[in-house]
Structure 1
Amino acid sequence: MRIVLTALLLCVALTGYAADWSEEPVPRRLVAGESIAAVLEELRASGVPLAYSSALVPAGLRIVSAPRSRNLLAAVREILRAHDLTLFAVDGVFVVGHQAVSAASREPGTVLIQFRDAQSDAVVTGVRVSGLPESAIQTNNRSERSLAINVPAGEYPVVVTAPGYKTLEATISAASKETRTATLRLLPLETPLTEVVVAASRYELLRDAIDNPSGLDRTSIMQTPDTGDDPIRAVQRLPGTTSGASAQPHLRGGSTRETGIVLDGHRLLNPFHVRDYQSLFSAIDVRAINGIEVYTGDFPVRYGDLTGGLVLVDTLTPDEDIRNEFGLSVFNASILSAGQLADGAADYVLSVRRGNLDLILNEEIGEPAYYDVYSKMSYRPSPDTTLAANLMIVKDSVIIIPAADIDEREQTTNDTRNSQFWLSWEQQWTDALSSLTVLSASDSISGRHALVSDPEKITGSLSDERTITIVRLNQDWRLDLNERHLLGWGAEFQQVDADYNYRSTVDYYGIYQDLPDRSNAQSRAVLSSVDGDAMAFYASDRWMVNRRLIADLGIRWDKQSYTDTDDNGQFSPRASLLYRLNPRTNLRLSWGRYYQSQGAHELQVEDGVTNFFPAQRFDQSIFGIDYQLNAHYSFRTELYVKTSKSIRPHFENMFDPLSVVPELEPDRVVIAPQRADLRGLEISAAYEGDNGFDWWASYTLSKADDVVSGQTIARSWDQRHAGQIGVALSGDRWSFSAAAKVHSGWPMTRVYLSADDTGPAVIFGERNEARYRDYFSLDMRVDFRRPTRFGYFSWYFEVSNSTNRENPCCVDFDVATDTAGNRVLDQSFDYWFPLLPATGILLEF
C-alpha cells in the first residue's frame, strides 16, 4: 500500500491555503463515472487542504451519481458517502476516511435543531442541512419551529445554508435512542441593494415565512381557514382588503378589475373559475406555488397598466427527485407531481384539479363543473441560464339555477376555456447584468346563455359569446452598476384580437314596469371585432443615497392602439424612499401615478357600450412605518391617499350584486364618476412564538368615495371600519387556526312605496345612502398530518362563518296587500355565505 498522507500534509502547509472552500462552486466534472481520486487530486492541486490514502480511494473508484449539493464541501462528502467514506476535519486538514461504524449497526437517535439569527435571535426558516447520511430523516417540527433529524448514533459534520445567511459548518451529535437539542446561530449576509425592499404596501406570503398577515407559506395558506384552499383568497387576510363572495379582492377601495395577477412573469388572463358568477375560486393550486408577493399599492414601474394592486405568484421549485400528492376534498380532487430531473439540471411541476361541487350540490340549484391544469418544465443548461415552459388550462362548464319554480325561473349556463402558454428565458450575462424574457400566448373562448322567467315581473334571455387572443412579449433588464445604483429597464409588446357576439332581450311587468327611469322593454344586439396592439417602456434606478436612505425612482410609458382614444400614451412617474431610522425601524414614503387602460377583453357590450374609454388614472401617496420589537413582535402602520379625476364608467346592480343575469335586471345603473377619493389608515401587529403559537391582528380606518354629478357617494364596497384577528397553534401532528373578520356594513340603497293618483309606485332613494348591518365571520380549521410508510397523510376540517351569522348583501322587494287591503312594500334581504363546513384529505408520496 502506498501512503501519501505525509507528503500531502507538507504540500498543504506550503500552499498556505486558508480560505473557506465550502463556498466554492461545484465543478462540472463531478458527474457519474468520474474517478474520485482524479477529482480529489484536482482539488488538492488547487490548494484545498485535503488528504487521503490510495488504499481507501483507488484509481478505479468512481462517482456513483452527480451530487445534488450546491456547495463544494457538501458535494465531496456526498460522492464519498456512496462508498461508506466521509471527510474528517483534523487540525485544519480534511482527511478522507471510513465512517466509523456502518449506519445499519447503530441505533438511531434524534437531534432537534433550532436555527436562529445570530444578531436578532429570530427564528431562521428556509434552512437546508447537507452532509448527512442517506438514512437520515429530516422533519419540520412546527410546534418548536425546529428541524428534527433522525440519524444513527454518532457525530456528523454538516453544512447549513439559508437564504440571506452565511454558510455555517457545524457538527451535530446523535445518541442512540435519545433526543438531543441544539441551537445553531447563522450570521446574516449584508443585504445587497438588489434585495432591499424600498416600496411601501408590499406583503410577502412566502413558503417559509411565519403565519401572519404579512407572511404565509404554502403550508400556512393551506391551513388558513379560507374557502377552497385558495391562495388568492388568502390575500383577503391582509389589511385594506375586502371581498364579498368573490375570490377577487378589492384592494384599498379599488374595484376587483384593478388588481393584476402575475404567475412566473406572465400576467394571467381571467384566472378564475365560475368567473361570470362572482369568480368563486382562482385557478391556482396552492400546493403548486412557492410564494406570493402582494402590493396593495406602490408597485414598481416594471409592472404597469394597473391602478389597484398586484399579486405576484411564484411557482414551486422542487428540491428533491420526485414527489407526488393526491388530494380529495369537498371542493376538488387534485393530483400534484413535482421533482428534479437530469441530476438537478431540470425540474418540473404538474398540477391537475377537478372541481367537486357539481357532484355535491343538488342538481336543482345547478351543476358547476370545472377543472384546471398547470404544468411547468425548467431547464438549466448552465449556471447562468434558465429556460422554462409553462402551460395553464382552465375549463368551466357551469349551470346555475337560483330560482327553479315553474312560475319563477332563473338559469344561466357558461362554457369557458382559457388556455395560456408562456416561455421564459432568464440569463445572467455577467455578475452585474441580467435579463428576463417572457413570450406568452393567451386564448379565451366563452359562451354564456341565460334566461329569466317571472311573468309578474320580468322575462328575458341573453346569449354572450366571446373570443379573446393576446400575444405578449416582455423583456426586463437589470444592471448592478455599483454599490449605490441598481438600474432596471424593459419593454412590453402585445397584439390583441377580440370578437364579440352578444344578444339580449328583456320585458318588464308589474312593479318593474313602473320603476323610475326604466323602459318597459329592452333589446340589444352587438357584433364587434377588436384588434390592435399595446406597448410599454420603463426605466428605474434604485439609488443608495447613504447607508440609511435608499430611493427607488422610475418612469413608465404605455400606449394602446386598439382603444381608438385620442391620447399620446400614458406617462407614469413613481418614487419611493426607505429611511432606516434604526436597525428595528423603517420609514417609507412613496408617490406614484398609475394608469390602467381598458383591456380588449373588457368591452362592455352587455350594457350596450361598443367603444373603449380612455385609460383611467390614479395618483397615490403612502407613508408607512414598520417596527420589529424583538424576535417575536412586529408592528406596521401605513397611511394612504389615492385620488383620480379620470375614472372609467361602469355598471352596477343597486339591489342584487349576485344576480346571474345582472344586465337584464331593472336595478342596473351606470356610474360615471368625475372624481374618486380613496384613503385610509392601516395598523397591524403580529406575534411569532417559539412554542408553535402565533397571532396577528389588524385594523383599517378607510373610505372609498366617488363624486358623481357633484355628489359624493360611497362606493358599493366601502367599509369605514374593518378589523381582523387570527390565531394559529401548531403541534407535531395537529394544528388549529381561527380567523375573525368584522367590518362596517356595505352601502345600500333604500326602496320606498309612494302613492299618487294612479296608485302606489316603487321609488328608489339616493344610491348607497344607507348601510347594511355590520359584517362578521369567524372561520376555523383543524389539520392533522402524520408520516406513513410511503410519505405523509393529512386531513383537515374547516368551517367558514362558524356562527352562521346572516350577513346581508342584497335587497329583494315586491308590492303586497296587507290584511286591510292596503298595498304595502314587502322587502327582504339575501345574505352572503352561511355556515359552510368542508373536509379533505391529502396523501404525499
Structure 2
Amino acid sequence: MFLSFSAFAEVTRSLKDFLQAANSAGYNILFSSALVRPYYQVTFDKQSPITLEQIQTALTAYDLELKAAPNDSFLVVSTLLPEIVSPPESTLDNDSTIEEVVVNASAHQFQMMYINSSLSIDRENLSKKPAIANDALRVSSRLPGSANNGVSARSAIRGGRENEMLIMFNGMRLYDPFHLHQFNQLFSVIDSRSIDSIDILTGGFPVTYGDRLSGVTVLNTTPRGTVDDSKELGFGLYTASYLQTLSLDQHNLVISLRRSTIDLFLGAVEHDLGTPSFADMHIQYQFDIDQERTFQTNVLWFGDDLSINNSNNTESVDSTFSSFYTWLSYRREQDNGPTTETKVGFTAIKDDRKGFVNKPQMVTGSLADDQEFRVYNLEHTRKYNFGNSLLNVGASYRYLDAEYGFHSTLQIDPHFTNVSNFERSEIRQFKETELGHQLAAFVSYKHRLLQQLYVEAGARIDTQDYLSNGWSKQVTPRLNLLYRFSSAGELRIGVGKFSQSQGIHELDASDGIQFFQRPQKANHYVLSYKQSFSHLDLKIEAYRKITDEPEFYFENLADPLSIVPELQVERTQVDPSRVAAKGIELSVSGDWRGNEFWLNYTRAEVKETVDGSRVRRSSDQKHAANIGWSRQFRDWQMAVESTYHSGWPTTQLTLNASGNAEQTVRNDRRLSHYLTVDVKGTRQWKLNHSKLRVEIGVTNLFNRNNVIGTEYNMANGVLKNSDRKALPIAPFIDLFYSF
C-alpha cells in the first residue's frame, strides 16, 4: 500500500475527478455522468483544502450547482433543466456507485486523479518513490504478495511464476514489456510520467480479464479531459526522455520518447561488461467526436540492443529485441443506452539472440535463437446499466503466427552430466512455423442486493486452436461479494476458477520442447477486510490458490541471474502435479502532522508436489515486509523506504567421492534474508516560463550484499562457489526541464 505525496500545487483535472477528490476529503456529493461529462475540466490547488465555495464555483462554469440532500449529502443538479433537479435518489446513487465500486477482493488501486488517503498515487508523484529510472513497475512490485529478486523489474504474484501476470496498457495486452529482457528484465518499457493510473489485481479478479493464473496489472495513460499542454525534457543516469502532451478542443495528443544512457556512461570508462542499450516510444491520439463518442489510436514500440558479459567472462550474450504495437479503439457512452467499445490491434515481436558459455572442466556451449511473433486482435464489449445493476458482456478474437529457429551445441563434462534431470543433446536444432487462434467471451453481472451489499458474478470461456495441438476450451466462473459497514469497514469475499494457456510465444524450444502444453487451471479463494479511520487505513487479507493442472517448466537450481540459462549444468525440469499457495497480508497506511507512512507485511507459503513430495517453489518467501515514510521539507519532498523478505530457497551442488557432481534435495535450504533501504528527494524550481525539477536518490543505501543465488565454477579439480547478489548501492539522478 502506498500513499500520495503532494509536491505540485496547481493541477488541471476533469470535473468528475475534482468531485471525487472532494468526496475523499469528507464531502458526500452524488452526481450523474449525464450531467458531469468526462471532458469538463477544472484547475485547483491540490495542496489546499477543498471548500464548498470552490466546488460551487467549479460547477457554475458548466451550468451546474449543489443541492442539499438527506444525510449531509449533496446532489449535483442542472441550473438549465429544472425537471431533473430532483432525480430519484436510488437511481442517481446507483448510477454513480455501481460502476465505480471495485467488488473483487484483491484490488490495489492507484487512482492518480485525486488524493485518496489509502491507495492513491498520482502520475506526478509516482516518480517520487525511490526506484531506479523512476520505474513504475518497480514501484508496484512492492505491494503485498509480490516476489521480486531485487534485480528485475518483473515480479511474481502470490506464489505464481512471472509469466502468470497479465499486463494491460490502455486496454492492450503487452507481451514481456521489459527492457533488457535477456538480462533479467531490468526496466519496464512505459515512462512513468505518462501513466495516469495503475491497478494491481492479485487474486479473484473479474472475468473481464483472463488467460493468466495469478494477477493483472493495468496501466492507463491520461484520460480525456485531463491532458495539459506541456513539453518536458529529461536526462539522467539511466535514461534520456522527451514527453509532450497537447490538448486542443476535442483533440488530445501524448508523445513519449526514451533512450537509455547506460551505454553512454559505460562507453566513457574502461570495462568488459558489454554495451546494453534500449529505447521506447509511445504515441497516443484521442479525438472526442462528440459528447458520447471517442476515437483513440495508440502506437507503442520498444527495443533493445544488447551485448553483454557476466562478471567473470564465462557467459556472453548478443541480443536484439523489438516489439511493435498499434491499436485503434472506438468508444460510445450513451446516456440512455449501453456503453460500447470496439478495439482492433496488431502486435509484432522479433527476438534474436546468440549466447556462449565457457566454464572450464564444467561446460562449453553456444546457441542461436531467432523468434518472430505476430498477433492480430479484435475485441468488443458492451456495458448495460439498469439502475442498481450492471451487465457487462464482451468477446475477443486473436489470430497468431510464430516462427521459431533454434540451434545449440553443448558439451558437459562427464562429472556433471547427472545434475540435470532431463535429456540434453550435444546438438539441438529446431525450426518451426506455428499458427493459432484464440477466442474468448465473458459475461459479468454486478448487482446491489441491499444498501450495503454488492454481488458480482460472471463466467468466462477461453478457447485455443493451435496448428500442432488442436482445440482446447476452459470455462471459468467467478463470484465476488462486497459488504460495506456503516463504520467505514469493507468485507470482501472472492472465489473462482482461472485458466492460462501457453502463449504462442512461450514454447520452450530452447530447452528442447517442440509442443505446446495443456492449459493450466487454478482455484482462488480470498477473504479481505478493510477499515478506515480518521488518519489511518488498515487492511488484512487471506488467500489460497490451488493449481491442480500446472505445466512443467525449466529453471536453474542455483543461479537465477545466468544470462544463458539453457546452457548451464544445473538446468532442471520441474514437473509438478499440484501447486498450493496460501498467505495472509497486512497493510497499514496513514498520515499524521504532515508525515505520511505505510507498512505492508506478508506471511506466505507456496509448495509444489513433485513425484509425491511437497517442495518449496523457488519464489517462496515466508516473510516479506515493506515500510516507508515521506514528508515535505520546505522545497524538498523526501521519501525513505525499506524492503525485507526471507531468503530464497536454493539447491546446493557438491562433488561426491568419485568427483562427480550431484545435487541435494531441490530447494532444501534458504539463502540469507534480503534487506534494502532506499531514499529519494525531489525539488522543483519555477523559472520565467518554465520549470526545472531534480529527482535524486539511492537504492540499497547501505550497500548490503543481498545474496539471491550461487554460481559454481571448477578450479584445479575443486568445485568453487560464489554468491550471486542483487543490485548493490545504486545512485540515481534525473533532471527534468518543462516548458
TM-score (norm 2): 0.87
Q: How far apart in 1 are the matches of 2:395 and 2:648?
A: 40
Could you tell me which residue of structure 1 aligns to residue 449 of structure 2?
Answer: 545
Could you tell me which residue of structure 1 aligns to residue 729 of structure 2?
Answer: 835
* Aligned equivalent of 1:703, options 595, 605, 608: 605
For residue 268 of structure 1, report the CA deviation from its aligned partner: 1.3
Could you tell me which residue of structure 2 aligns to residue 623 of structure 1?
Answer: 527
Aligned 8 A contact 1:296 1:310 in 2: yes
**1:784 to 2:683 alignment:** yes
Matches of residues 261-340 of structure 1 in structure 2 within 5 Å?
261-317=167-223, 319=226, 322-340=229-247
For residue 531 of structure 1, report the CA deviation from its aligned partner: 0.5
Question: How has the CA–CA distance of structure 1 residues 722 and 186 changed in structure 2, closer, same or farther, with 3 Å as cutoff?
Answer: farther
**SS where residue 382 of structure 1 aligns?**
coil
For residue 517 of structure 1, report the CA deviation from its aligned partner: 5.4
Could you tell me which residue of structure 2 aligns to residue 445 of structure 1?
Answer: 350
For residue 167 of structure 1, report the CA deviation from its aligned partner: 5.7
Could you tell me which residue of structure 2 aligns to residue 454 of structure 1?
Answer: 359
Could you tell me which residue of structure 2 aligns to residue 488 of structure 1?
Answer: 392
Question: How has the CA–CA distance of structure 1 residues 787 and 114 changed in structure 2, closer, same or farther, with 3 Å as cutoff?
Answer: farther
* Aligned equivalent of 1:396, options 298, 301, 304: 304
Q: Deviations over 1:321-355 (max 9, x none)?
A: 521111111110000000212x2x11010000001
Q: How far apart in 2 are the matches of 1:395 and 1:116?
A: 43
RMSD: 3.0
Aligned 8 A contact 2:301 2:323 in 1: yes
For residue 515 of structure 1, report the CA deviation from its aligned partner: 4.6
For residue 826 of structure 1, report the CA deviation from its aligned partner: 3.1
Question: What 5-or-longer segments of structure 2 have no aligned partner?
Answer: 1-11, 16-21, 30-35, 68-72, 77-91
* Aligned equivalent of 2:628, options 726, 751, 765: 726
For residue 786 of structure 1, report the CA deviation from its aligned partner: 2.2
**1:768 to 2:667 alignment:** yes
Question: How has the CA–CA distance of structure 1 residues 772 and 563 changed in structure 2, closer, same or farther, with 3 Å as cutoff?
Answer: farther
Matches of residues 76-155 of structure 1 in structure 2 within 5 Å?
116-118=25-27, 140-141=46-47, 146=49
**SS where residue 237 of structure 1 aligns?**
coil
For residue 814 of structure 1, report the CA deviation from its aligned partner: 4.2
Letter in 2 for 1:777: T
Aligned 8 A contact 1:358 1:368 in 2: yes
Matches of residues 783-802 of structure 1 in structure 2 within 5 Å?
783-802=682-701
For residue 508 of structure 1, report the CA deviation from its aligned partner: 2.1
Q: How far apart in 1 are the matches of 2:525 and 2:725?
A: 36
**SS where residue 364 of structure 1 aligns?**
coil
Q: How far apart in 2 are the matches of 1:737 and 1:211?
A: 18
For residue 429 of structure 1, report the CA deviation from its aligned partner: 3.7
Aligned 8 A contact 1:336 1:349 in 2: yes
Matches of residues 660-699 of structure 1 in structure 2 within 5 Å?
660-689=563-592, 691-699=593-601
Question: How has the CA–CA distance of structure 1 residues 334 and 617 changed in structure 2, closer, same or farther, with 3 Å as cutoff?
Answer: same
Letter in 2 for 1:788: L
For residue 130 of structure 1, report the CA deviation from its aligned partner: 10
Question: How has the CA–CA distance of structure 1 residues 529 and 663 changed in structure 2, closer, same or farther, with 3 Å as cutoff?
Answer: same
For residue 465 of structure 1, report the CA deviation from its aligned partner: 0.6
Could you tell me which residue of structure 1 aligns to residue 256 of structure 2?
Answer: 351
Q: How far apart in 2 are the matches of 1:498 and 1:119?
A: 53
Question: How has the CA–CA distance of structure 1 residues 259 and 209 changed in structure 2, closer, same or farther, with 3 Å as cutoff?
Answer: farther
Larger Rg: 1
For residue 797 of structure 1, report the CA deviation from its aligned partner: 1.2
Q: How far apart in 1 are the matches of 2:325 and 2:139?
A: 24
Letter in 2 for 1:642: K
Q: How far apart in 1 are the matches of 2:228 and 2:133?
A: 29
**SS where residue 426 of structure 2 aligns?**
strand
* Aligned equivalent of 2:273, options 361, 365, 374: 365
Could you tell me which residue of structure 1 aligns to residue 79 of structure 2?
Answer: none
Letter in 1 for 2:166: G
Could you tell me which residue of structure 2 aligns to residue 252 of structure 1?
Answer: 158
Letter in 2 for 1:701: R
Q: How far apart in 1 are the matches of 2:721 and 2:472?
A: 50
Matches of residues 136-285 of structure 1 in structure 2 within 5 Å?
140-141=46-47, 146=49, 159-160=57-58, 190=93, 191-208=96-113, 214-244=119-149, 245-285=151-191
Question: How has the CA–CA distance of structure 1 residues 329 and 555 changed in structure 2, closer, same or farther, with 3 Å as cutoff?
Answer: same
Q: Which stretch shifts more, 462-471 or 193-202?
A: 193-202
Q: How far apart in 1 are the matches of 2:183 and 2:368?
A: 15
Aligned 8 A contact 1:563 1:614 in 2: no
**1:637 to 2:540 alignment:** yes
Could you tell me which residue of structure 1 aligns to residue 7 of structure 2?
Answer: none
Q: Deviations over 1:580-608 (max 9, x none)?
A: 22240111111010001000111110000
Q: How far apart in 1 are the matches of 2:529 and 2:336?
A: 34
Could you tell me which residue of structure 1 aligns to residue 434 of structure 2?
Answer: 530
* Larger RCO (CA within 8 A; separation ≥ 6): 2
Q: How far apart in 2 are the matches of 1:115 and 1:498?
A: 49
Aligned 8 A contact 1:548 1:581 in 2: yes
Letter in 2 for 1:829: D
**1:656 to 2:559 alignment:** yes
Question: How has the CA–CA distance of structure 1 residues 584 and 528 changed in structure 2, closer, same or farther, with 3 Å as cutoff?
Answer: same
Aligned 8 A contact 1:692 1:731 in 2: no
Q: Deviations over 1:121-153 (max 9, x none)?
A: xxxxx9x99999xxxx96544xxx5589xxxxx
For residue 803 of structure 1, report the CA deviation from its aligned partner: 1.1
Aligned 8 A contact 2:25 2:50 in 1: no
Q: How far apart in 2 are the matches of 1:735 and 1:247?
A: 24
Aligned 8 A contact 2:59 2:65 in 1: yes
Letter in 2 for 1:739: E
For residue 573 of structure 1, report the CA deviation from its aligned partner: 0.2
Aligned 8 A contact 1:718 1:747 in 2: yes
TM-score (norm 1): 0.77
Aligned 8 A contact 1:211 1:220 in 2: no
Could you tell me which residue of structure 2 aligns to residue 502 of structure 1?
Answer: 406
**SS where residue 704 of structure 1 aligns?**
strand
Aligned 8 A contact 1:194 1:486 in 2: yes
For residue 425 of structure 1, report the CA deviation from its aligned partner: 0.6
Q: Deviations over 1:782-841 (max 9, x none)?
A: 111121112321101111111111111121234557xxxxx7653321211111111111
For residue 446 of structure 1, report the CA deviation from its aligned partner: 1.4
Q: How far apart in 2 are the matches of 1:619 and 1:520?
A: 35
Matches of residues 474-485 of structure 1 in structure 2 within 5 Å?
474-481=379-386, 483-485=387-389
Q: How far apart in 2 are the matches of 1:417 and 1:502?
A: 18
**SS where residue 563 of structure 2 aligns?**
coil
Question: How has the CA–CA distance of structure 1 residues 731 and 643 changed in structure 2, closer, same or farther, with 3 Å as cutoff?
Answer: same
Letter in 2 for 1:380: D
Could you tell me which residue of structure 1 aligns to residue 85 of structure 2?
Answer: none
Aligned 8 A contact 2:546 2:578 in 1: yes
Q: How far apart in 2 are the matches of 1:323 and 1:812?
A: 49
Letter in 2 for 1:316: T
Letter in 2 for 1:479: Y
Q: How far apart in 2 are the matches of 1:200 and 1:517?
A: 40
For residue 564 of structure 1, report the CA deviation from its aligned partner: 4.7
Could you tell me which residue of structure 2 aligns to residue 744 of structure 1?
Answer: 646
Letter in 1 for 2:620: D
Q: How far apart in 2 are the matches of 1:687 and 1:567?
A: 51
Q: How far apart in 1 are the matches of 2:206 and 2:404?
A: 34
Q: Which stretch shifts more, 615-624 or 207-216?
A: 207-216
Q: How far apart in 2 are the matches of 1:573 and 1:440?
A: 27
Letter in 2 for 1:431: N
For residue 314 of structure 1, report the CA deviation from its aligned partner: 1.0
